[in-house]
Structure 1
Amino acid sequence: MTRVPLFTALALLALAAPALAASEPPLASLTLVGPPSLLFKAGRDACDGADVPDASARAFRDATGAVALFGMHYRNRALRGPDLDHLTLDCAVVLDSGEKADPALYDDRSWITATWTEDGRSVAALLHHEYQANAHPGRCAAKSYMECWYNTLTAASSSDGGRSFARADPPAVMAAAPLRQEVGQGRHRGFFNPSNIVADGPWRYVLASTTGWERPGSDQEAGVCLFRTRTPADPASWRAWTGAGFTAAFPDPYRKPVKVPDTCKPVAPFPTPVGAVVRHRATGAFVAVFMAKAGGAFPRSGFYWTSSRDLIAWDRPRLLVAGATLYDDPCGAPGGLIAYPSLLDPAATGRNFDDVGDTALLTYATLRTEGCAITSDRDLVRRRVAIKVWP
């Protein structure tokens, strides 16, 4: 394979980390306890050149108890099997990308990046949608991909347990910048890379990144914002944390121009998108994993973890796996890169794998590099981790 998924352009973006919240850590440690094992190898297991790990793994159990796992390319397919230990790629495309030139259609390139189901039949999905204006003649004045990138979180749904997904008509937007795509945009714009969805009582939460924007009386800081809803199947119901409550909405700017947009308050300590957030069953503590580049609060590049009691105040991030990530220069990573971490517990009690016990599987992608290029030669691997709580 020679085709390199454009989702890896996230390597070009590193958001400034907000100040760390002062909080006693709910968990004592998260440590590796075993070697990596191979779950999927693109050169061996792919159906075609679109099958490479290109997002953090998301899984749920369908109505029969079988597992579906997403985290591949913008031609979306699922790994399926009776449980997390026995998964193979299903070649049926559950959601394709139209690569359409009209940004108002939100159907250029979409990745299934979060799912939620209550019954295993009806499944709500959040999509990381990229309008790649540089690929559409006349839609971007710049030649740089990053200067043309317009991101939105949209939605799709399934009524057959994740065997197929459909977009709404008109498009269903969960979170959009209050600005339309512009020929002279000149910067990355929008909301992108949601975490998985995690439950807390009647609420469902997701962490999502934003590039921020500048508008008179409504400047949005770049960072990671926390959203919640009671009804994940309704994309318009999500509201983001403002620092005072969950009241910020980010509707489709193509359907109704936004004069004075809402803003969300980024939560620390995340410098980049959150790979996954899960709840520890014994303590109720939340655990998040993400990748970071060396610098500031992060002494080494790699995967970091942090814990929280309320999803808003997080403790000091600690290194879990050292290694060059998508945010590092591939020229200096002859051994390849690591990316897209998530945490999955085969014994999760929830249908959506949003809870963990005292062990879990760190699931992530390894990416081979050639010189200064990131290739599509990728593996999906996992390593067992142990979770220790304070006595």
Structure 2
Amino acid sequence: MRLRLALLVLLVPAGAIAAPEPPLSSLTLVGPPTVVFKAGRDACDGADVPDSSARAFRDGSGAMALFGLHYRNRALRGPDLDHLKLDCRVVLDSGEKSDPALYDDRSWITATWTEDGEAVAALVHHEYQANAHPGRCRSKVYLECWYNTITAATSKDGGRSFSRDIPPTVVAGAPFRQEIGQGRHRGFFNPSNIVSDGRWRYVFASTTGWDRPGEQEAGVCLFRSDRPADPSRWRAWTGTGFTASFPDPYRTGSPRGDTCRPVTPFPTPVGAVVRHRASGAFIAVFMAKAGDGFPQSGFYWTSSRDLLAWDVPRLLVAGATLYDDPCAAPGGLIAYPSLLDPAAAGRNFDDVGDAAILTYATLRTEGCTITSDRDLVRRPLAIKVWP
């Protein structure tokens, strides 16, 4: 099974905002891992494997819906995190269409937001895999043909089905079409969950950067919106304000020159960001490979007062991740961390108290191959935030 952009390590941009010291928070694991979903046991078909960070919300009845599987999108549902079962209904399928202007090749629901549990806005990680479509790429290598866009989808029935405009609204994409710049991975990808500070909703999204138009650094950019239900209202941080937009290059007459300013210290996509209820501080988790300031491979966390200046990351779980060589990881890999508080005050699980659950995927390897034998697991942790 083909992995999404699993091997990309982003460059940490120069000139980013300095991180505050000392650290704002402490996260401590307080229990062993337990299995939430086992692909070989619980799947409806071969598409049901953990392949993104867990995203959850409470629907109109108060029941929990959790996404985090593959590009044939299904939800785990249940009354709470302890009693989830995969619902075999496909809520958003992937058309695997060859026309890149349709944005309907392979799609993952990677962020959700709902105010009432019925109307749900989703951000979708869309991969156009040109290598799979004859005549669309000069190469046959997946990453050399990879063109990624964040698009939008909506549900009116509490996440039991999602629909998209034709073509869907582009929230963030490269300002050029997919045939440009082949030979490297291009675009925006892997949005975090959406987190609220009251008035605004925020999401992190990664980009590989580009040279023209403008000079976009590779990194992780912060977007905000006052109304996620209208996907056209998302704007990215430029270093002076939230003004950058990245419209559909197939619908605009000429390329736009907007760029966003990457936020440090994230070398890879943000797995999840949550707000601590008592202090208002934000806590983010992500994967990192050993090197460049990270002493070990594994999951790291960092914290912030404003989502722009973050403290020094600290190791939470050590282990080989998707950014490591699978040939050197006979015990398998860990990936896609997220944070969920079963007692979250809001519907969207974007807040935490002094205890939460770390969820992530474990991936078995066979030689140098990452297999589809994967589990979604959880571990309890304690959270402390200093004033």
Q: TM-score, length-normalised on structure 1? A: 0.97
Structure 2 residue identity aligned to 1:134: N
- 2:102 maps to 1:72: no
Residues in 2 aligned to 1:122 and 1:389: alpha-carbon distance in whole angstroms: 33
Corresponding residue number in structure 1 for 2:52: 55
Residues in 2 aligned to 1:118 and 1:390: alpha-carbon distance in whole angstroms: 30
Residues in 2 aligned to 1:257 and 1:356: alpha-carbon distance in whole angstroms: 44
Corresponding residue number in structure 2 for 1:261: 257
Residues in 2 aligned to 1:290 and 1:361: alpha-carbon distance in whole angstroms: 15
Corresponding residue number in structure 1 for 2:78: 81
Distance apart, 1:5 and its partner CA = 3.7
- 2:122 maps to 1:148: no
Corresponding residue number in structure 2 for 1:240: 236
- 2:154 maps to 1:182: no
Pairs within 5 Å for 1:120-269:
120-182=117-179, 185-215=182-212, 218-269=214-265
Residues in 1 aligned to 2:34 and 2:363: alpha-carbon distance in whole angstroms: 15
Residues in 2 aligned to 1:113 and 1:175: alpha-carbon distance in whole angstroms: 14
Corresponding residue number in structure 2 for 1:105: 102
Residues in 1 aligned to 2:256 and 2:39: alpha-carbon distance in whole angstroms: 46
SS at structure 2 position matched to 1:93:
coil
Post-superposition CA distance 1:69-115 (Å, at most 9, x none) = 00000000000001111100000000000000000000000000000
Structure 2 residue identity aligned to 1:233: A
Match of 2:13 among 18, 25, 37: 18
Distance apart, 1:25 and its partner CA = 4.4
Residues in 2 aligned to 1:298 and 1:344: alpha-carbon distance in whole angstroms: 25
Structure 2 residue identity aligned to 1:109: R
Pairs within 5 Å for 1:340-379:
340-379=336-375
**Change in 2 beyond 3 A, CA 1:51/1:282:** same
Residues in 2 aligned to 1:350 and 1:26: alpha-carbon distance in whole angstroms: 26
Post-superposition CA distance 1:276-320 (Å, at most 9, x none) = 000000100000000000001100000000000000000000000
Match of 2:307 among 311, 332, 335: 311
- Any conservation in 1 of the 2:341–2:355 contact (CA below 8 Å)? yes
**Change in 2 beyond 3 A, CA 1:25/1:81:** farther
Residues in 2 aligned to 1:67 and 1:26: alpha-carbon distance in whole angstroms: 33
Corresponding residue number in structure 1 for 2:326: 330
Distance apart, 1:143 and its partner CA = 1.9
- Any conservation in 1 of the 2:25–2:303 contact (CA below 8 Å)? no
Corresponding residue number in structure 2 for 1:294: 290
- Any conservation in 1 of the 2:246–2:256 contact (CA below 8 Å)? no
SS at structure 2 position matched to 1:339:
strand
Residues in 2 aligned to 1:184 and 1:311: alpha-carbon distance in whole angstroms: 32
Residues in 2 aligned to 1:181 and 1:28: alpha-carbon distance in whole angstroms: 41
Distance apart, 1:184 and its partner CA = 6.1
- Any conservation in 1 of the 2:102–2:166 contact (CA below 8 Å)? no
Residues in 2 aligned to 1:365 and 1:56: alpha-carbon distance in whole angstroms: 8
Residues in 2 aligned to 1:45 and 1:89: alpha-carbon distance in whole angstroms: 7
**Change in 2 beyond 3 A, CA 1:279/1:25:** farther
SS at structure 2 position matched to 1:231:
coil
Residues in 1 aligned to 2:2 and 2:280: alpha-carbon distance in whole angstroms: 37
SS at structure 2 position matched to 1:11:
coil
Residues in 1 aligned to 2:358 and 2:181: alpha-carbon distance in whole angstroms: 41
Distance apart, 1:187 and its partner CA = 1.1
What runs of 5+ residues in structure 1 fail to find an aligned partner? none
Corresponding residue number in structure 2 for 1:40: 37
- Any conservation in 2 of the 1:290–1:341 contact (CA below 8 Å)? yes
Q: TM-score, length-normalised on structure 2? A: 0.98
Structure 1 residue identity aligned to 2:293: A
Distance apart, 1:27 and its partner CA = 2.5
Distance apart, 1:26 and its partner CA = 5.5
SS at structure 2 position matched to 1:91:
coil
- Any conservation in 2 of the 1:367–1:377 contact (CA below 8 Å)? yes
Structure 2 residue identity aligned to 1:112: I
What runs of 5+ residues in structure 2 fail to find an aligned partner? none
SS at structure 2 position matched to 1:208:
strand
Distance apart, 1:388 and its partner CA = 1.1
Q: Indicate the percent of aligned positions where both proteins have the same amino acid.
A: 81
Residues in 2 aligned to 1:209 and 1:263: alpha-carbon distance in whole angstroms: 12
- Any conservation in 2 of the 1:26–1:285 contact (CA below 8 Å)? no
SS at structure 1 position matched to 2:161:
coil
Residues in 2 aligned to 1:86 and 1:5: alpha-carbon distance in whole angstroms: 29
How many residues are treated as equivalent by the alignment? Answer: 385
- 2:259 maps to 1:282: no
Structure 2 residue identity aligned to 1:296: D
SS at structure 1 position matched to 2:107:
strand
Runs of 4+ residues over 3 Å off in structure 1? 257-260
- CA-based RMSD of the aligned residues comes to 1.2
Post-superposition CA distance 1:149-192 (Å, at most 9, x none) = 00000010000000000011232111111010107611111000
